[in-house]
Amino acid sequence: MSDTSVIKEPIKEEMKKFEPYFREQLKTKIPLLDIITNYLLRRKGKQMRPMLVFLSAKLNGEVSESTYVAATLIELLHTATLIHDDVVDETYQRRGIFSINALWKSKIAVLVGDFFLSKGLSTALNTNQIEVLKVVSDAVKEMSEGELLQIEKSRKLDITEDVYYDIIRKKTATLIAACTSAGALSVQSSEEKLKAMKEFGENLGIAFQIKDDLFDYESNGLIGKPTGNDIKEKKLTLPLIYSLQKADSKHRRKILTKIRRHHKNERKVQEIIAFVKTNGGLEYTKEQMHKYSQKAIESLSIYPDGEAKDSLIKMVEFTINRKK
Give the CATH number for residue 168: 1.10.600.10
Task: Determine the residue type at 188.
Answer: Q
The predicted pLDDT at position 165 comes to: 95
pLDDT band per the 50, 70, 90 thresholds, residue 223: very low
Which residues 6+ apart lie within 8 Å of 48 measured at CB? 4, 315
Residue range 4-19: mean pLDDT, rounded: 89
Assess contact for 163 and 135: CB atoms under 8 A: no
SS3 97: strand
Number of domains in the chain: 1
| 80 against 310, higher pLDDT | 310
Predicted confidence (pLDDT) at residue 316 exceeds the cutoff of 90? yes
pTM of full prediction above 0.95: no
Q: Which of 100, 122, 124 is nearest to 111 (CA)?
A: 100
- Write out the residue range of the structural domain in which residue 93 sits: 4-321
SS3 94: strand
Which residues 6+ apart lie within 8 Å of 225 measured at CB? 219, 270
17-21, 39-43, 86-90: lowest mean pLDDT where? 86-90
Assess contact for 107 and 60: CB atoms under 8 A: no
The predicted pLDDT at position 2 comes to: 45
pLDDT tens per residue, range 164-175: 999 999 989 999
pLDDT band per the 50, 70, 90 thresholds, residue 1: very low
Q: Which long-range contacts (CB under 8 A, 24 or more apart) does 303-311 make?
A: 303/59, 303/193, 303/196, 306/59, 307/9, 307/10, 307/58, 308/10, 308/11, 308/55, 308/56, 308/58, 308/59, 309/59, 310/10, 311/6, 311/7, 311/8, 311/9, 311/10, 311/11, 311/55
